[in-house]
Structure 1
Amino acid sequence: MIGRARLLLAALCLAVSGGRAAAETVQDGQLWINTTLFGSVGDLAFFAEVQPRFGNGISQLDQLILRPAIGWKVNERLTLYQGYAYIENRDGTGPVRFEDRSFQEINWKIGEISGVKVSSRTRFEQRWQSAGRDVGFRLRENLRFTKPLTQEKDSVSAVGWVEAFVALNDTDWGTRAGFDRVRTFVGLEVPIGGESTVEIGYMNQTARASPGGTEVDHILSLNLSVRN
């Protein structure tokens, strides 16, 4: 009887410790570098983006994203895009996973509130991964706030934004419907000539991980935006 009680107690301790491990928060320091070319010809707009992301303490290439899109400028404040993204996921835990992604995007310059420029980017994604056969649908909403630090024309600006990701369905390659991740950024936007800018700052990414855990990434983010 005592032996059975000890076995039961050991099993309960193992279950509790396993549950804690599954639900623990995993943290990482990362470096994301993004270069994007923006352009337009009349009402036709386009962009092309290259983004390598380094993780595991900035020791390895975790992900590479190539993302072009073409769009239509409805007016000076609203632009609609159709785009495609090619992604390589290299987290070091297995073979490279490839993703093809179609997306539709709405860029909206909402306006200015007390000197702060507010804009929105809404993106609807259709995702195919090499690890499965299902199509994953995801909705992303980004709200961006920019405020010049001086009255000069080419002033450095303070920037902050937040982006929420919601998965709309389950897939056989691991996505679960509901909250997917949220990203927040604070930093500076520096003009480098014409309308081109460099943006540098800190990004926090909090993502849902399987099974039941949370991933928190602390990211140094460098963004070069070249505009013609």
Structure 2
Amino acid sequence: MHKIAFAIALASSLFPSASFAETRQDEAIWVNATVMGRIDGGLVFFAEVQPRIVEGASRLGQVIYRPAIGWQFSNAVTAYQGYARVVEPHKDGGEARIEDRLFQQITWNVGKIGSLEVQSRTRLEQRWRSDAEGMSLRVREMLRFEYPLADAERRVAALGWVEGFAGLKSARWGGVSGFDQLRTFAGLEIPLPGKSTIEAGYLNQTRHVRGGQSDMSHIASLTLFVRP
């Protein structure tokens, strides 16, 4: 249970840090499609694509492509090695900015507290960008909570999660040391045929930027998980 205590402490320490001198607001839409499954034995994979529409949901601000391969050590713990390519189209039609990431990830199905299902995801990211030199290093910790709204095995569930980001090493092009951003989500998990699901709801992103400011995005979030 030490990860739960760590994440709660992290979140409580980050909320005050998100109150900067000036907060810029935005509205966005994030859509995510993820395919995940088993290759053979304990060998598993996932692959996702996520377009993000920003600036009042008026333009495509970012597309993330993120495949990973992993090993399921038990029903509770899976470790992944992955790669992400982040493409940011230029506002005026110029050359897109590219960010490349390597990441290592551990997911842990913590268990149940009554009917509440708890999961942890820890991710370490090494980040490079096409417009400048240097590597930025960042750690992310997510706690995810599901509460079934019916007794059936395939049921709608109330869903919430919180994810804190902390920079361990900055680079010339950016990145921070210390608090980076906090994401909080509230919505529903809806079953689809087979084992696939849709998650829909509201996501709040509060992100630190240099100069004592913060960016807050109010995001309509829709995620499709395809599990063959």
The alignment's TM-score, normalised by the length of structure 1, stands at 0.88
- Quick check: 2:136–2:174 contact (8 Å CA) kept in 1? no
RMSD, aligned α-carbons: 1.4
Larger radius of gyration: 1
The residue aligned with 1:15 is none
- Quick check: 2:90–2:97 contact (8 Å CA) kept in 1? no
In the TM superposition, what is the alpha-carbon distance from 1:90 to its structure 2 partner?
A: 3.2
Counterpart AA for 1:168: L
In the TM superposition, what is the alpha-carbon distance from 1:132 to its structure 2 partner?
A: 1.4
Which stretch of the first structure deviates more once superposed, 90-99 or 152-161?
90-99
The residue aligned with 2:67 is 68
CA deviations on 1:21-75 (whole Å, 9 max, x unpaired) are x942111000000000001021100000000000011110010000000000101
Counterpart AA for 1:32: W
CA deviations on 1:53-102 (whole Å, 9 max, x unpaired) are 00011110010000000000101111000000000123638752110100
The residue aligned with 1:50 is 49
- Quick check: 1:77–1:110 contact (8 Å CA) kept in 2? yes
The residue aligned with 2:196 is 196
The residue aligned with 2:184 is 184
CA distance in 1, matches of 2:100, 2:222: 24
The residue aligned with 1:100 is 100
Counterpart AA for 1:136: S
- Quick check: 2:123–2:140 contact (8 Å CA) kept in 1? yes
In the TM superposition, what are the counterparts of 1:1-228 in structure 2 within 5 Å? Answer: 23-40=21-38, 41-90=40-89, 92=91, 95-228=95-228
Note the residue ranges of structure 2 that are not aligned, 5 or more in a row: 1-19
CA distance in 1, matches of 2:61, 2:21: 23
In the TM superposition, what is the alpha-carbon distance from 1:210 to its structure 2 partner?
A: 2.4
How many residues are matched? Answer: 207
CA distance in 2, matches of 1:180, 1:90: 22
CA distance in 1, matches of 2:175, 2:137: 9
In the TM superposition, what is the alpha-carbon distance from 1:148 to its structure 2 partner?
A: 0.6
Counterpart AA for 2:62: Q
CA deviations on 1:193-226 (whole Å, 9 max, x unpaired) are 1211000000000000122210000000000000
The alignment's TM-score, normalised by the length of structure 2, stands at 0.88
CA distance in 1, matches of 2:214, 2:95: 23
CA distance in 2, matches of 1:89, 1:178: 24
- Percent of pairs identical after alignment? 49
CA distance in 1, matches of 2:108, 2:145: 12
